[in-house]
Structure 1
Amino acid sequence: MSKTIQATLIAAVLLIVIATLFNSTFVAGGSGVVLIVGLAYAYVVSKREVERGEVIEG
């Protein structure tokens, strides 16, 4: 997995966590948790594909 993708995923998670800390209406009601779980799943799947050699890193 490229460093750009890793940095983007980490930035997205941090922004959601910060929005949760400041009680943003965007993440009220649990939607922030759903987004974090989705990002974590995408990270795991893409990492697995890279380890299997299914994705060409560029």
Structure 2
Amino acid sequence: MKTDPASGERYLRLPVPDPQTVQRLAEGLLSLLGEHKAATLLSAKARLLQQRSAPEN
């Protein structure tokens, strides 16, 4: 649990899995949910990978 010094807002910081794990998870979910959800899941995967590679503040 961390607190933002500027706003005082509390948040929980969790580690993001490595890209290969995220890829396998996305592929598994796609096979379960079908193509209808593909764009949403791939977009979420891209955001996770982007957040993981962003420098920490």
* TM-score for both structures, normalised by structure 1: 0.48
Larger fraction in strand: 2
Give 1 or 2 for the bigger CA radius of gyration: 2
* TM-score for both structures, normalised by structure 2: 0.48
Q: Which has the higher contact order (CA 8 A, sep 6+)?
A: 1
Larger fraction in helix: 1
